[in-house]
Amino acid sequence: MARIAVIGAGLGAMAAAARLAVAGHRVTVYERAATYGGAVGRFERDGFAFDTGPGLLHLPAVYRDLFVKTGKEPLERCVTLTEVDPASRQIFADGTSVDLPNASRAGTVAALDAALGAGAGERWGDFLVRARDAWDRTRRPLLEEPQPQDVSVYAREPYPAPKAGFLRRPTTTLAQIGARELRDPRLVALLDAYAWSYGFDPATAPASAVVLPYMEQTFGSWYVAGGLRALATAVYERCLQRRVEFVFGAEVVDVPVKDGRAAGVGLADGTVVDADHVVAGAPVPALVRAGIVAEAPRHQSPGTGRVVLCLALRGGKEPGAAHRTVVHAADGRPTVTVLRPGDPALVPEGEHEAVTVTATVSTAPGQDWAACAERMLEAAARAVPDLRDRRLWQEVRTPEDTLRETGAAEVPGPALAGAGGRLLPAANLSPLPGLYFAGGWAHPGGGLAHAGMSGALVAGLIVEGADFRGSQ
């Protein structure tokens, strides 16, 4: 039985902790904050509650696997999952609106044809076929296997762009795919919105980012009753059931090294805890800034974070309201996502609604967050009738809040092939033996599903060692 210290109580770190505890190891999690969850946060006021991180779950199979492998109770006995249908309502800059069904390619094609004109759905459907090829080529190495030392193979672009003429230039960015293959500005906006939601600028995101819309439209979008915070609570409780120990308010400031390998953690109060392995679930940039990691590993620097507008509204949802509405701006930014779960657990007694409005923005200094919030409110009013009249109060959460709470202002995206390998996160095996990286800033990158997979990969590397070849 090994002693394992885990830095941070985010979803990826807790996923690793639960799996390692089941394998017979003694696991202790050290979290500088007063609670668990990391970026899966919660804001509460006057009986209203809002998720300040992700609002929907994609690829729930990752967490189903976690719960199957760590206990007798499956995920669905611990949380209530509901398919979101329609998966989204898209409101384009020209006023056109379309409801996209959940996990139905044929339904999506038909909906786009009906809303945007004959042929629009077919172009999107053909695009998804090519996106599936990119997904099939990258799913295993970029999601289910540890990152190898030689990552040059990931630098190549896996997207099979259609061939048209001898002089056709290669398709290297998502923006090029939209311009060349989708053509309709509304289809382009639809594609771009998927990139922005993960923090990627379509103008610079590699063509391999097509896996993002493919993943959501193929495997569906799910809502967790009580909000995504309920999923974090379920994972935390599973850890406790497996006798993982949590120490909150414990800031890790050092990873001592003995005989050339990580030997434990040093806390801000001067305490040094010995360990055989250390799993760092905190954001890699924060670990580097704090000097906890002496040798800076590779990590994504997307340069974008989330602004979240929490709206407490008087009155309930109107008939036909969509759970998720994406409002596309005329100038292309910011694309705003409006979540209206209609969950009675998130509001006080009576007819009220808790609405979350999110936009991905630059984290460069000098941002006017108040002006950004006002633009987001204007966009949200296109999705929520009588929004301003119904508003009781609002709370604005900015990347500065994300920095204070998690240690990084930016929101990491999932690992993507292409782009010369610059969108690959830190490998799970750190340059220092005995130290491992988990969470959204580590392979396979950001997003709930990817963070959960990082925990599975780290646990596999510790339990099985160098022979571990990935999740089965």
pLDDT digits (tens, 9 = 90+) for 13-51: 999 999 999 999 999 999 999 999 999 999 999 999 999
In the predicted structure, residue 148 carries a pLDDT above the cut 90: no
- Percentage of residues of the chain with pLDDT beyond 70: 96
d(CA 217, CA 128): 9
* Among 93, 22, 103, residue whose Cα is nearest residue 57: 103
For 89-114, write each residue's pLDDT tens digit. 999 999 999 999 999 999 999 999 99
Token pair of 257 as six digits: 């090294």
Residue 361 DSSP SS3? strand
Cα 142-143-148 angle, rounded to 5 deg:
50
**Which pLDDT value is given to residue 333?**
61
**Which pLDDT value is given to residue 395?**
97
Mean pLDDT across 418-433 = 89
**What is the total residue count of the chain?**
472
Mean pLDDT across 82-91 = 96
Rg of the chain taking only CA atoms, in angstroms? 22
pLDDT: is 370 or 156 the higher one? 370
In the predicted structure, residue 442 carries a pLDDT above the cut 80: yes
Place of tokens 């060692």: 465
Amino acid at site 154: Y
For 112-144, write each residue's pLDDT tens digit. 999 999 999 999 999 999 999 999 999 999 999
In the predicted structure, residue 219 carries a pLDDT above the cut 90: yes
For 249-284, write each residue's pLDDT tens digit. 999 999 999 999 999 999 999 999 999 999 999 998
Beta 272-274 vs 264-267: how paired, if at all? antiparallel
**Which pLDDT value is given to residue 352?**
97
Query: 140: which DSSP letter?
Result: I
For 403-412, write each residue's pLDDT tens digit. 999 888 998 9
pLDDT band (50, 70, 90) for residue 296: low
Q: Is the overall model pTM greater than 0.75, yes or no?
A: yes
d(CA 344, CA 380): 21
**Which pLDDT value is given to residue 469?**
81
Contacts by 45-48, CB closer than 8 A, 24 or more apart: 45/312, 45/393, 45/395, 46/312, 46/348, 46/392, 46/393, 47/347, 47/348, 47/349, 47/352, 48/310, 48/312, 48/346, 48/347, 48/348, 48/352, 48/354
Domains of the chain as residue ranges with CATH: 3-40+60-66+227-300+412-467 (3.50.50.60), 104-216 (no CATH), 303-406 (3.90.660.20)
d(CA 30, CA 394): 33
d(CA 329, CA 188): 13
pLDDT band (50, 70, 90) for residue 167: very low
CB atoms closer than 10 angstroms to residue 385: 12
Cα 167-172-173 angle, rounded to 5 deg:
125
d(CA 195, CA 292): 32
Q: Which residues, in sequence order, are bridge partners of residue 336?
A: 327, 359
Residues 6+ apart with CB under 8 A from 187: 112, 116, 120, 123, 124, 178
Token pair of 377 as six digits: 């409110």
d(CA 395, CA 323): 20
**Which pLDDT value is given to residue 150?**
83
* Among 339, 374, 381, residue whose Cα is nearest residue 356: 339
Residues 6+ apart with CB under 8 A from 334: 196, 307, 359, 360, 361, 372, 375, 376, 379
For the chain, what is the mean pLDDT?
92
Token pair of 413 as six digits: 């995206």
pLDDT band (50, 70, 90) for residue 466: confident
In the predicted structure, residue 166 carries a pLDDT above the cut 50: no
d(CA 413, CA 107): 28
Contact 404, 431 (CB under 8 A): no
Residues 6+ apart with CB under 8 A from 153: 141
Mean pLDDT across 394-419 = 92
